Structure 1
Amino acid sequence: MGKLLVTGATGNLGRLTLQHLLDRLPAERLAGLSRTPDRAADLAERGVDIRPGDYLDHDSLVSAFAGVDKLLLISAQAFTDRNTQHFNAITAAKQAGVKHVIYTSIQRDDELGISQVGVTESDVFTEHTLRASGLTYTILHNPMYLDQLEGYVGADAYENGVRVPHGEGTMAPALLRDLAAGNAAVLTQDGHENRSYTLNGSQVASYRDIAAAMSELHGRPVPYLPVTADEYRDGLVHKDVPPPVAEFLTAWVAGVSLGSFSKHTDDLERLIGYRPTGYRDFLEKNYPAITPASEAPVR
């Protein structure tokens, strides 16, 4: 029986996926791909076969994918040549004899025609390439990451309100650890061949809903204060975010308001067999309530 290989083994999603797999399978069944294998020394110590490889080096991928049955292809970073990198990975997988490729795409609404800067066009290219390759495939459309909620609504939301581009679109963001559990499920289960899933957390919200939940949990009003996309971008630049990155982040945050992430399913819950963490659960644990003066700790 061939190995299961996870690319991006030193990234957040790849590392978490391998950790989930170690709870299910013997380490000798598992492999990880990394451009810098030394950074995965902890996984190697647990018995994971860490293999060097680079999406831009086709030959390195052919070598790394040898003896692999199932491959989790974690998408390359934005602002890079994702088309070339993903094409190399898919063609190398076929050349190496991989049977099944699972690709982590980003959720989108093709009918709305909203393009998420840096990823949508290359995701579409990659999905078409994978379907045309003759390989068995599974496509996992990832939502916004709940772990990064502060990056969407602002670290200063309690002081200045939730200031985001206007719109009533919704999202159901999910934790990376829950998405990693979904990856592990597809890698270790049958029945996911040539299928696509839209993955979500368990609770749906607009930015207005998030502001209301923060108000309730914090014990003080946190207003929803919609701004234009230009105002949001300019606010990031004012905080010393480089303009290209500010454009990228603004497109994602505005995409939620416009409806790019409004498709909600229970696909993730069915894959992992438990209720994924929702945004209110996350806020309760990570956005503390005001401590009344009478209960404040004595210093």
Structure 2
Amino acid sequence: MSKILVTGVTGVIGKGTIEHLLKKGVPASEIIGLARKKDGLDDLITKGVEVRIGDYLDYDSLLNAFKDVDKIMLTSAVAFSDRSTQHYNVITAARQAGVKHVVYMSIMRKEGSGRIMPGITDSDLFTEQVLKSSGLDYTILYHPPFTDLLYIYYGSGPHKNGIRVPAANGKMAPATRNELAEAHAEILSTPGHENKTYSLGGSEAISFADIANILAEIQGKPVPFTTITTGGYIDGLIAKGTPRHVAEFLTNWVVAIDEGEFEHRSGDLERLLGRRTVTFKEYIESNVNKQVKE
């Protein structure tokens, strides 16, 4: 019996991937979640999903966790950590344990841009190369910005504070983490995805100026939009208590969004889901109390 192991199941995308595998009819007995601890995973365990303990930086724990596993969903490690070592350990342990197929979630890159997103791009490139040269079947999934987390770039209380970002009309093609998790589950549970890459941009291209207009339309109140300097944006985040390295990280994302790094819409995500993705307006309208804070 083949088994699917999903890493990072204490996170939204990892846990969501397992929940969508169950919805697609994959028996719980064929699904394994990997986490550093079992806290907060009672709901998965209750459904019959086995949770194994493992740490990307503990190679032996990975070897033990990967026993009798056929496919692994490698949920990428967080920024500001040694992502390259962690991902290398997962891929190498997977090969040693006899795993056949590893699926990796990378960050979308515009073809030919050469942009390096500090803390992400180098380790993504490294991981993809290790995976392609490992002898394992691989699938690489390029993620766009997350529709449900765009507010971290423009801040709370947009009607009161406006949207002030180092961006103008450059567009991105975001998708929700739930939609991406569903796409992961589709790839893990169906054949034909070996040694392929998918660009998972959403159906809609949207800019920060568009976001201001949409929020104004939904609430019936104006949302002032202002393009500011990167320095001004960083200073504003730091003034709210954001550490400088995080502020600089977020700024790099906003600039990349404005310059079209995440605008590509390949249609891959729509094909995997069998439908168009949720628009930003649709998402906000169904989550207005969580997303639009006065």
The TM-score with structure 1 as length reference comes to 0.93
Where do residues 64-75 of structure 1 align in structure 2 (5 Å cutoff)?
A: 64-75=65-76
Shift of 1:203: 1.4
Shift of 1:212: 1.8
DSSP-derived class of the 2:70 partner? strand
Matched, 1:191 2:192: yes
Query: After superposition, what is the alpha-carbon deviation per residue over 1:185-227, rounded to whole angstroms, capped at 9, x for unaligned?
Result: 0000111111111112221111111112222222122122111
User: What corresponds to 1:124 in structure 2?
Assistant: 125
User: What corresponds to 1:264 in structure 2?
Assistant: 265
Amino acid at match of 1:5: L
1:251, 1:113 → 2: CA distance? Answer: 14
Where do residues 276-291 of structure 1 align in structure 2 (5 Å cutoff)?
A: 276-287=277-288
User: What corresponds to 1:297 in structure 2?
Assistant: none
Shift of 1:43: 0.9
Amino acid at match of 1:17: T
**Max Rg structure:** 1
Amino acid at match of 1:22: L
State whether residues 17 and 185 of structure 2, in contact with CA within 8 Å, keep that contact through their aligned partners in structure 1: yes
2:44, 2:202 → 1: CA distance? Answer: 27
2:49, 2:88 → 1: CA distance? Answer: 26
Shift of 1:3: 0.5
User: What corresponds to 1:231 in structure 2?
Assistant: 232
User: What corresponds to 1:2 in structure 2?
Assistant: 2
Amino acid at match of 2:64: S
Amino acid at match of 2:130: T
State whether residues 201 and 262 of structure 2, in contact with CA within 8 Å, keep that contact through their aligned partners in structure 1: no
State whether residues 201 and 263 of structure 2, in contact with CA within 8 Å, keep that contact through their aligned partners in structure 1: no
Shift of 1:110: 4.5
1:189, 1:15 → 2: CA distance? Answer: 19
Where do residues 21-40 of structure 1 align in structure 2 (5 Å cutoff)?
A: 21-23=21-23, 24-40=25-41
Query: After superposition, what is the alpha-carbon deviation per residue over 1:17-69, rounded to whole angstroms, capped at 9, x for unaligned?
Result: 11111122111010010111233222112111111100001111111011111
DSSP-derived class of the 1:163 partner? strand
Q: Give the percent of matched residue pairs that are identical in Structure 1 and Structure 2.
A: 49
Where do residues 123-202 of structure 1 align in structure 2 (5 Å cutoff)?
A: 123-202=124-203
Shift of 1:108: 1.5
User: What corresponds to 2:214 in structure 1?
Assistant: 213
1:235, 1:261 → 2: CA distance? Answer: 24
State whether residues 32 and 51 of structure 1, in contact with CA within 8 Å, keep that contact through their aligned partners in structure 2: yes
Amino acid at match of 2:91: I
DSSP-derived class of the 1:115 partner? coil
Shift of 1:166: 2.5
Query: After superposition, what is the alpha-carbon deviation per residue over 1:146-175, rounded to whole angstroms, capped at 9, x for unaligned?
Result: 111211221121112221112432112111
State whether residues 167 and 254 of structure 2, in contact with CA within 8 Å, keep that contact through their aligned partners in structure 1: no
State whether residues 37 and 52 of structure 1, in contact with CA within 8 Å, keep that contact through their aligned partners in structure 2: yes
1:177, 1:279 → 2: CA distance? Answer: 14
State whether residues 10 and 40 of structure 2, in contact with CA within 8 Å, keep that contact through their aligned partners in structure 1: yes
State whether residues 171 and 264 of structure 1, in contact with CA within 8 Å, keep that contact through their aligned partners in structure 2: no
State whether residues 3 and 68 of structure 1, in contact with CA within 8 Å, keep that contact through their aligned partners in structure 2: yes
- Residue ranges of structure 1 left out of the alignment (5+ in a row): 289-299
DSSP-derived class of the 2:225 partner? coil
The TM-score with structure 2 as length reference comes to 0.94
1:77, 1:181 → 2: CA distance? Answer: 20
Amino acid at match of 2:265: H
Task: Count matched residues.
Answer: 288
User: What corresponds to 1:85 in structure 2?
Assistant: 86
User: What corresponds to 2:292 in structure 1?
Assistant: none
- Which has the larger displacement, 163-172 or 49-58? 163-172
User: What corresponds to 1:293 in structure 2?
Assistant: none
Amino acid at match of 1:19: E
Deviating above 3 A after TM superposition, structure 1's stretches of 4 or more consecutive aligned residues are none
User: What corresponds to 1:54 in structure 2?
Assistant: 55
- Which has the larger displacement, 207-216 or 228-237? 207-216
User: What corresponds to 1:19 in structure 2?
Assistant: 19
DSSP-derived class of the 2:140 partner? strand
Amino acid at match of 1:98: V
The alignment yields a C-alpha RMSD, in angstroms, of 1.3
1:73, 1:142 → 2: CA distance? Answer: 13
